[in-house]
Structure 1
Amino acid sequence: MSDQFFQHHVFFCMNQREDGRPCCGQQGAEKAQKHAKKRIKEMNMNGAGKIRVNQAGCMDRCEEGPVLVVYPEGTWYTYVDTSDIDDIIDTHLVGGKVVERLKI
Structure 2
Amino acid sequence: MPEFKHHVFICTNERDESASRPSCLPQGSKKLKSAFKDAIKDAGLKHLVRANESGCLDQCEHGPTVVVYPEAVWYGFVQLKDVEEIVTEHLVHGRPVERLRLPSTCLNTEQCPHKPVPKHK
TM range (shorter): 0.7 to 0.9
Percent of aligned pairs with the same amino acid: 45
Report the alpha carbon displacement of residue 81 of structure 1 after superposing the two structures with TM: 2.2
User: TM-score scaled to structure 2, two decimals?
Assistant: 0.76
Matched, 1:34 2:34: yes
Query: Greater strand percent: which structure?
Result: 1
Matched, 1:46 2:46: yes
| Pairing 1:48-87 to 2, within 5 Å after superposition | 50-87=48-85
User: How many equivalent residue pairs?
Assistant: 100
- Contact persistence 1:79–1:85 (CA under 8 A): no
2:23 corresponds to: 23
- Contact persistence 1:8–1:93 (CA under 8 A): yes
Give the aligned CA root-mean-square deviation in angstroms: 1.6
Distance 1:52 1:8 in 2: 6
- Contact persistence 2:43–2:88 (CA under 8 A): no
Distance 2:93 2:77 in 1: 18
User: Could you list the runs of 4 or more consecutive aligned residues of structure 1 that deviate by over 2 angstroms after TM superposition?
Assistant: none
- What 5-or-longer segments of structure 1 have no aligned partner? none
Tell me which structure has the larger Cα radius of gyration: 2
- Contact persistence 2:32–2:83 (CA under 8 A): yes
Listed one character per residue, the Cα deviations across residues 67-103 of structure 1 (whole Å, up to 9, x for unaligned) are: 0000000000024422211111111111111111000
Q: Which has the higher contact order (CA 8 A, sep 6+)?
A: 1
